[in-house]
Amino acid sequence: METLVTRSEQALDETDYSELRKWAREFAKREVLPVAARIDRTDEYPFELQKKMGEYGLLGLSVPKEYGGLGLDLMGSVIVGEEISRVSLSAGFIMGVQNGLVGSAIALSGTEEQRSRYLPRLVKGEIIGAYGLTEPGAGSDAAGISTRATKDGDSYVVNGSKIFITQGAVADLLVFFARTGTPEDGAAGISAFIVEKGTPGFSVGQKLEVMGARGTATAELTFADCRIPASALMGREGDGFLIALTILSKSRIGAAAAAVGLAEAALEEAIKYAKKRNIFDRPLAKYEAIRFMIADMATRTEAAKLLTYKAASIHDKGDEFLKEAAMAKYFASETAVWVAERSIQIHGGYGVSKALPLERYLRDAKVLDIVEGTSEVQRWILSKELLDGE
Ligand SMILES: Cc1cc2nc3c(=O)[nH]c(=O)nc-3n(C[C@H](O)[C@H](O)[C@H](O)COP(=O)(O)OP(=O)(O)OC[C@H]3O[C@@H](n4cnc5c(N)ncnc54)[C@H](O)[C@@H]3O)c2cc1C
């Protein structure tokens, strides 16, 4: 199979997303599908798949070409993310963290030295990145983080911890956020840094077992008098919260795309099953209750998809997209939970059995409802945009 890198060298037409979708669907079927259930069951990080994703160009979709990425617009990344997550949300997470969070943060706010040191290897999958914002005491209230980075000569000394960090247990580098100002400074006192694995005082705490997006090495990370060079700062002191929010608003659209992929997978299974399962004298698909349920599932999935594509296209035009991103993330993740649950209902006992992927879809969808800002946080953003503006 041709890699996305060679394909892009042959002038991948950014407006022809159908080619890109076809490519991503083929990759997902060939490389991701055979390992999707195993990743979920064993909860083991799929190093081989991660390497293959790097080799084929999936880990640097939106990273600029000069650093080895594909430089796709967000719509391109959304389409690839939708197709990969349709088969395995865990694979979608690996792609999203490496590319949408870590790669994008370094490309956007890293120094030239940081970009050339990390991006080419991140894109190829030679190193694994993680993004550490959440702390045991601060999740939704990200401005309330308490990890501290204290300037000491030519370095910073970091103390604190991060929790629920995807790829945290296997990461070679962590983009993280810490307080350089006082707690009273709030968001303005937060700065962004990069720390490399093996730095004394930086360690992986316990690996956390979660219900969905399994096999993505979710972990707690701790800093105990961890000394990092002043050159590990991204942007300027105090820029951290803005960097975190800029990256998260964009990656929220990626999370919405993953939810659309999951909902599509659950819907597709429901349609197939309803047509082939005979109940009493006829196929399930002939009962109006089931037909209407499938009509509702398809309508909500399509609405989630349109909101997601709209948010991506507004972003790509360079317009303000905060409201659309929040709507897409909130609606698509709740839709994925609902559609996955309905699909289980249509499958009856087989739906809850581990032999089929449906119960995995439901567990995965629920995680999407929490990460990158919960549904309540998205509604909070929306209500502020709608009610408190000028
Ligand atoms: C599998 C997984 C992977 C993750 N990966 C990462 C990662 O790579 N990097 C990272 O930094 N973080 C990561 N996270 C953390 C995730 O972003 C947080 O869990 C999430 O932001 C919620 O924070 P919290 O868990 O502290 O919940 P809390 O903030 O404590 O929220 C608890 C409840 O309160 C609700 N709530 C919050 N604010 C309001 C409000 N204003 N009004 C009403 N209700 C409200 C929430 O919606 C939620 O229902 C991950 C989490 C999971 C589960």
Q: Which fold has domain 131-238?
A: Butyryl-CoA Dehydrogenase, subunit A; domain 2 (2.40.110)
Beta-carbon contacts of residue 141 (< 8 Å; ≥ 6 apart)? none
Q: Residue 372 C-alpha to ligand 1 middle, in angstroms? A: 7
pLDDT tens figures, 54-77: 999 999 999 999 999 999 999 999
CATH superfamily of the domain spanning 241-387: Butyryl-CoA Dehydrogenase, subunit A, domain 3 (1.20.140.10)
Ligand 1, atom 35: nearest CA belongs to which residue?
Answer: 376
Q: What is the pLDDT of residues 295-328, one digit of tens each?
A: 999 999 999 999 999 999 999 999 999 999 999 9
Question: 48 in ligand 1 pocket by Cβ < 6 Å?
Answer: no
Q: How many CB atoms lie within 10 A of CB 289?
A: 8
- Cα of 164 to ligand 1 centre, how many Å? 9
pLDDT of residue 8: 58
Burial status of residue 185 (CB atoms within 10 A of its CB: 0-12, 13-18, 19 or more): middle
Count of all residues that appear for the chain in the document: 390
For a mutational test of ligand 1's pocket, the pick from 370, 372, 383, 388, i.e. the residue with the most ligand atoms closer than 8 A to its C-beta, is 370
Query: CB count, 10 Å around CB of 206?
Result: 11
Q: Please give the sequence-ordered ranges of beta strands (E in DSSP) within the chain, or none if there are none.
A: 129-132, 148-152, 155-165, 173-179, 190-196, 202-207, 219-229, 233-234, 278-279, 282-283
User: Is the shortest distance between the CB of 131 and ligand 1 below 6 Å?
Assistant: yes
The residues annotated with a catalytic role in the active site are 372
Which of 39, 164, 248 for a ligand 1 pocket mutation test, highest count of atoms within 8 Å of Cβ? 164
Name the residue of 43, 93, 140, 162 whose CB sits within 8 Å of the most ligand 1 atoms, as the mutation to test its pocket: 140
Residue entry with tokens 């945009």:
385
Which residue puts its alpha carbon closest to atom 22 of ligand 1?
139
Task: For helices 240-276 and 74-87, give the axis angle rounded to 10 degrees.
Answer: 50
Residue 371 in contact with ligand 1 by CB distance below 6 A: yes
Place of tokens 């650093």: 67
Query: Do residues 66 and 82 touch, judged by C-beta distance below 8 A?
Result: no
In 10 A of CB 304, how many CB atoms? 28
Q: How many CA atoms lie within 13 A of 53 on its CB side?
A: 31
- Residue 121 three-state SS: helix
Query: Does residue 207 have a pLDDT over 90?
Result: no
| Rounded Cα–Cα distance for residues 357 and 135 (Å) | 32
Grade residue 11 by pLDDT with cuts at 50, 70 and 90.
very low
**pLDDT for residue 229:** 98
* Percent composition of the chain: helix, strand, coil (DSSP 3-state, to 5): 60, 15, 25
Ligand 1 contacts CB of residue 370 (under 6 A): yes
Q: Whose CA is nearest to atom 11 of ligand 1?
A: 133
Q: Which atom of ligand 1 lies at the shortest distance from residue 370's CA? A: 20
Nearest to 344 by CA among 318, 332, 336, 129: 336
Residue 100 DSSP code: I
| Domain spans in the chain, listed from the N-terminal domain onward | 4-127, 131-238, 241-387
pLDDT in tens, 325-370: 999 999 999 999 999 999 999 999 999 999 999 999 999 999 999 9
Query: Which architecture does CATH list for 4-127?
Result: Orthogonal Bundle (1.10)
C-alpha to C-alpha distances, 47 to 51, 52, 319, nearest whole angstrom:
6, 9, 37
Report the nearest-CA residue for atom 36 of ligand 1: 376
